[in-house]
Amino acid sequence: MSDSKSKKIAVVTGASAGIGAVYAERLAARGYDLILVARRAERLEALSAKISKIHGRQVEVIGADLTKEADLARVEKILATDPAVRVLVNNAGNAKLGPVARTSAEDAASMIALNITALTRLTQAVLPAFLSRNAGVIVNVGSVLSFHSLPVSSIYSGTKGYVLNFSRGIQEELAGTGVRLQLVLPASTATELWDLSGVPLAALNQDTVMTSEDLVDAALSGFDKGEAITLPSVADASLWGTYDAARSALFAATQTGKPAPRYKAS
């Protein structure tokens, strides 16, 4: 994601505020024209004017609800057909936190539709074009709740666990190509998602909350360093290596075709 003279576009979903808005500004500073996608078009228009004034970049605004088929298909078409698209930031997400028994079917379906279905379909839409050019970047914004679950996060953690495994599999598919997928796993970040989730941002230990600006700057630094997985708040990078090695060892241990001795009748 460096500067170049040829026209290049970054598509950012969930760009009306928080992490997505910061990604838009940072990518514009890196020389990208932008396609910004979010439900709140009026906020996108204000961000577009700001970016155009400061960075002189072209910005297209798409008011779209990615949980709706027609809107999702409209963005898919752009990703599949516009050769100037070089970067896709899958940032749009939704969280409704609470026990499963007290979560409405509508809230559960909304999280699944945005966090899983939209992210999957937009990735599928852009990948063939990236692979045909042997160049392109996908950034999937997951969460540290991809590998941890709380009593109020069962559905949200489930959707972000999908993002983790989906992204890791695609990274294996892309090995040896010029296409990159970076998985970013934020911890608590100061965005509007919290107040909309049912757990107010003010209720969190503020010492554990990162600003959206610090989060995106760390994620971009991780990308520049060649990271496939970026955990912006984790100081000891070896912890991910230990976790991943344990995961691989556990999977290898399943490949026996026989019940474990502890399950055999004595």
246 burial class (0-12, 13-18, 19+ CB within 10 angstroms)? exposed
* pLDDT at site 195: 55
Whether residue 40 lies inside any domain: the answer is: yes
| Sequence-ordered list of residues with C-beta below 8 angstroms from that of 58, at least 6 positions apart, any chain | 33, 34, 52
Look up the domain containing 159 and give its range.
9-257
Q: Determine the residue type at 94.
A: N
pTM (2 d.p.): 0.93
Radius of gyration of the chain (CA): 19
Give the Cα separation of 173 and 200 in Å (integer). Answer: 39
| 51, part of any domain | yes
| 219 within domain boundaries | yes
Q: What is the CATH number of the domain that holds 252?
A: 3.40.50.720
Which amino acid does the sequence have at 141?
V
Select which of 23, 32, 156, 162 is catalytic. Answer: 156
Let me know if residue 206 belongs to a domain. yes
Answer yes or no: 23 catalytic.
no
Mean pLDDT by 10 residues, the chain (266 residues): 75 95 97 96 95 96 97 98 98 91 95 97 98 98 94 95 98 98 89 59 70 96 98 96 97 96 88
pLDDT at res. 192:
60
Q: What count of other Cβ atoms lies within 10 Å of the Cβ of residue 37? A: 31
Residue 29: exposed, middle, or buried by beta-carbon count in 10 A (0-12, 13-18, 19+)? middle
- 266 located within any domain: no
Note whether residue 3 is domain-resident: no
Residue 262 lies in a domain: no
The total number of structural domains in the chain stands at 1
Q: Does residue 265 lie within any of the structural domains?
A: no
